[in-house]
């Protein structure tokens, strides 16, 4: 198997341009968790020209809400939720500098276009391997919207998080490629 | 006729708590077996990578008693209550809800229920979804099923033309799985409920997910055939594990059927992700 590329957040244009749909990567550094309501709040804050509570330029958002940590542990189980629910809010976040997204499932045409325009990458994390994935988390703290409980934005420090590039900056799409290569039971 | 038997609310509550704690961390042997078999059939590197991680995750979750998935689900329960059971010491439904509350607190499971409009969390993962059925006897069978939101979102009920026939049903199932693509965390299990009224079809589809994995419908040969053919078509779509491309888009298709109105042909499709969690007990 081809060796995965090690990459570090915050992501820059050079790193993003070097990634292709289907590449395996090991991502290290800080990422922010955010899902449905957090996205709507970030989006509405940007529209009102107010400051959002997390840094966004070059940053990576992980569509996730972990289980609560057991005493003595950094985090509970953690994995991706379905990304398409964040699609209506994503182009705006890309416009203000978001570079990486981690989730599962297809993105809208609008998001894919905005990714090309702003040079961002969408990574797939394997869904439902949350006990295993949590082992990559070195640090976890609430960064914003703490009152939303499991839906709060958390700042995670991860090490060698195994991901697959689903959509790259050139418009490459792993899901489309997979259907083409494997349809009819090939 | 069995004799009247008392079952306390405390026993019911404790059983519900135990079942959700077990279900969240311990993947069933039938599911694990099917995942291993599916993994060995994959040719692509990415599909094998995904399947290996899924299988390894089940081991880590069981050994370290951690939730398999961060989405520890809505708590769905099926209660088959013997008609000769006398529930003592409180209200049956309250006891079940309390069991769910305790499991999600004690197990550090994610509380995933909220007000549909304000989206404010209910804080304890209640209310649980409780389906009850009366059966002969003096025992209670409890099935606990934490059901994730991602795969539930890809589920549906369709009112087909009454004349659509088995071909129409097969096309519908394959089409829904194709459109769901990578979203519901394949390899999935596809539960199908045909017939009844709109709510019966949905319930039938969910119950179909509880059948031992891969066991064909034993009551109706037409359905067993439909299951086999649909599974083959689904696994020729190319979606594969996590949508990364490959064979294992579904591990099984389970179809159940009951009579329906002459004007209708309801077909419910309930998709279950690979973290197919359910545990049962008879008390």
Q: Is the pLDDT of residue B104 over 80?
A: yes
CATH number at residue A101: 3.20.130.10
**Position B255 pLDDT exceeds 70:** yes
Domain identity same for B142 and B159: no
Q: What is the pLDDT of residues A96-143, one digit of tens each?
A: 999 999 999 999 999 999 999 999 999 999 999 999 999 999 999 999
Give CA angle at B202 (B168, A130), nearest 5°: 105
Residues of chain A contacting residue B183, judged by C-beta atoms under 8 Å apart: 82, 84, 104-106
In a domain, A13, yes or no: no
Query: Is the confidence at residue B214, as pLDDT, over 90?
Result: no
- Are B7 and B140 spatial neighbours (Cβ–Cβ below 8 Å)? yes
Contact list in B for residue A175 (CB cut-off 8 A) is 181-182, 239, 243
| Residue B215 reports pLDDT greater than 80 | yes
Q: Which candidate, A121, A135, A150, A145, places its Cα nearest to that of A60?
A: A121
| CA terminus-to-terminus distance, chain A | 20
Identify all chain A residues contacting B110, using CB atoms and an 8 Å cutoff. Answer: 65-68, 76, 150
Mean pLDDT of B253-257: 98
Contact A122, A83 (CB under 8 A): yes
**Last residue of one domain, picked from the residues B147, B170, B201:** B147
- Dist. CA B53–CA B57, nearest whole Å: 6
Whether the pLDDT of residue B128 is over 90: the answer is: yes
Question: What is the rounded average pLDDT of the residues B174-202?
Answer: 97
Q: Is A8 part of a structural domain of the chain? A: no
pLDDT recorded at residue B2: 82
Distance from CA of B42 to the nearest CA of A (A): 11
DSSP-derived secondary structure for A53-97: SS--TT-EEE-B-PPPPPTT-S-----B-BGGGGGGGHHHHHHTT
Pick from B196, B225, B191: which is nearest to B208 by CA? B191
Nearest to A182 among B50, B61, B245 (CB): B245
Give contacts of A107 with chain B, Cβ < 8 Å: none
Dump pLDDT digits (tens) for B44-72: 999 999 999 999 999 999 999 999 999 99
List of chain B residues whose C-beta atoms are within 8 Å of the C-beta of residue A37: 119
Q: Which domain holds residue A176?
A: 22-185
> What pLDDT, in 10s, does the model give residues B175-184?
999 999 999 9
pLDDT at position A185, please? 66
**CB-closest option in A77, A150, A184 to B67:** A77
Residues B128 and B184 grouped into a single domain: no
Nearest to B245 among A150, A162, A181 (CB): A181
Report the mean per-residue pLDDT for chain B. 97
The proportion of chain B whose per-residue pLDDT surpasses 70, expressed as a percent, equals 100
What is the distance between the alpha carbons of residues B140 and B11, in angstroms, rounded to a whole number? 11
Which tokens is B50 given?
């995904």
**Which residue is closest to A167 within chain B, CA to CA?**
B244
Cβ distance A128 to B109 less than 8 Å, yes or no, reads no
Q: Which residue has the tokens 């009102």?
A: A48
Subunit contact A131:B60, Cβ cutoff 8 A: yes
In B159-198, the residues whose Cβ lies within 8 Å of chain A are 181-183, 185
- B residues 144..163 contacting A (CB < 8 A): 148-150, 153
CB proximity list for B219: less than 8 A, separation 6 or greater? none
pLDDT at A2: 75
Q: Does the complex come out with an ipTM higher than 0.85? A: yes
Is the separation of the CB atoms in B24 and B76 below 8 Å? no
C-alpha distance from B247 to closest chain A C-alpha (Å) = 7
E strands along chain A, which residues?
5-8, 24-33, 60-62, 100-103, 121-124, 137-144, 153-167
Please tell me the total count of domains within chain A. 1
Distance CA B136, CA A20 (A): 60
Give SS3 for A42.
helix
Maximal CA-CA distance, chain B: 59
Structural domain total, chain B: 2
Q: Is the peptide bond before A12 cis (omega within 30 degrees of 0)?
A: no
Q: Look up the domain containing B111 and give its range.
A: 5-24+68-147
Three-state SS at A18: coil
Is there a contact between A104 and B185 if contact means CB atoms under 8 Å apart? Answer: yes
In this complex, the residue of A65, A135, A175 whose CB is nearest that of residue B70 is A65
**B1, pLDDT greater than 70:** no
Q: Is B30 contained in some domain?
A: no
Same domain, B108 and B136: yes
The C-alpha atoms of residue B183 and residue A107 are separated, in whole angstroms, by: 10
pLDDT at res. A59: 97
Q: What is the 3-state secondary structure (H, E, C) of chain B?
A: CCCCEEEEHHHHHHHHHHHHHHHHHCCCHHHHHHHHHHHHCCCCHHHHHHHHHHHHHHHHHHHHCCCCCCCCCEEEEEEEEECCEEEECCCHHHHHHHHHHHHHHHCCCCCCCECCCCCCECCCCCCCEEEEEEECCCCEEEEEEEECHHHHCCCEEEEECCCCHHHHHHHHHHHHHHHHCCCCCCCEEEEEEECCCHHHHHHHHHHHCCCCCCCCCCCCHHHHHHHHHHHHHHCCCCCCHHHCCCCCCEEEEEEEECCCCCCCEEEEEEEECCCCCCEEEEC
Q: What is the chain B residue with the closest CA to A84?
A: B183
Q: How many whole angstroms separate alpha carbon B173 and alpha carbon B268?
A: 9
Question: Is residue A152 a part of any domain in this protein?
Answer: yes
Pick from A84, A130, A150: which is nearest to B69 by CB?
A130
Note whether residue A11 is domain-resident: no
pLDDT of B73 above 80: yes
Positions in chain A short of pLDDT 70: 1, 185-186
Across the interface, whether the CB atoms of A130 and B70 are under 8 A apart is answered yes
Q: What is the pLDDT of residue A186?
A: 64
Domain contains B55: no
- Final residue before a domain boundary, out of B97, B113, B147: B147
Average pLDDT over every residue of B256-269: 98
Integer-rounded Cα radius of gyration of chain B: 19
Residues B124 and B193 in one domain: no
Token pair recorded at residue B113:
């229920």
Interface contacts (A, B; CB < 8 Å): 168
């Amino acid at each position: 198997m081809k060796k995965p590329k090690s990459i570090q957040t915050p992501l820059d244009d050079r790193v993003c341009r070097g990634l292709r749909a289907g590449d395996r990567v090991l991502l290290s550094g800080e990422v922010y968790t955010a899902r449905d309501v957090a996205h709507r709040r970030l989006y509405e804050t940007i529209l009102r020209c107010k400051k959002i509570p997390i840094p966004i330029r070059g940053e990576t958002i992980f569509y996730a809400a972990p289980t609560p940590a057991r005493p003595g542990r950094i985090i509970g189980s953690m994995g991706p939720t379905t990304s398409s629910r964040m699609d209506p809010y994503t182009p705006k976040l890309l416009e203000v500098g978001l570079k990486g997204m981690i989730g599962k499932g297809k993105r809208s045409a609008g998001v894919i276009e905005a990714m090309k325009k702003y040079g961002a990458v969408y990574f797939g994390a394997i869904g439902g391997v949350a006990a295993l994935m949590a082992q990559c988390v070195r640090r976890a703290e609430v960064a914003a919207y703490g009152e939303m409980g499991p839906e709060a934005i958390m700042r995670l420090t991860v090490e060698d998080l195994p991901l697959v590039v689903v959509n790259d900056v050139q418009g490459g799409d792993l899901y489309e490629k997979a259907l083409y290569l494997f349809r009819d039971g090939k | 006729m069995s004799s009247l038997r008392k079952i306390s609310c405390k026993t019911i509550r404790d059983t519900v708590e135990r079942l959700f704690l077990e279900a969240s961390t311990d993947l069933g042997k039938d599911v694990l077996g099917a995942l291993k078999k599916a993994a060995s059939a994959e040719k692509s590197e990415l599909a094998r990578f995904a399947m290996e991680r899924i299988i390894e995750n089940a081991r880590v979750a069981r050994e370290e008693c951690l939730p398999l998935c961060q989405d520890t689900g809505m708590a769905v329960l099926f209660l088959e209550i013997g008609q000769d059971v006398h529930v003592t010491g409180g209200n049956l439904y309250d006891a079940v809800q309390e069991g769910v509350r305790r499991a999600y607190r004690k197990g550090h499971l994610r509380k995933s229920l909220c007000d549909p409009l304000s989206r404010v969390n209910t804080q304890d993962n209640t209310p649980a979804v409780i389906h009850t059925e009366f059966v002969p006897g003096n025992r209670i069978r409890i099935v606990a099923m934490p059901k994730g939101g991602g795969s539930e979102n890809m589920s549906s009920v369709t009112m087909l033309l009454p004349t659509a026939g088995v071909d129409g049903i097969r096309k519908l199932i394959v089409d829904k799985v194709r459109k769901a693509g990578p979203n519901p965390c394949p390899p999935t299990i596809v539960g199908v409920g045909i017939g009844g009224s709109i709510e019966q079809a949905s319930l039938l589809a969910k119950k179909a997910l509880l059948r031992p994995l891969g066991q064909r419908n034993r009551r109706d040969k037409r359905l067993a055939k439909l299951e086999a053919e649909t599974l083959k078509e689904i696994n020729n779509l190319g979606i594969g594990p996590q949508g990364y491309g490959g064979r294992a888009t579904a591990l099984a298709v389970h179809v159940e059927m009951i009579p329906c109105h002459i004007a209708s042909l309801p077909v419910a499709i309930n998709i279950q992700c690979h973290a197919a969690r359910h545990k049962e007990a008879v008390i």
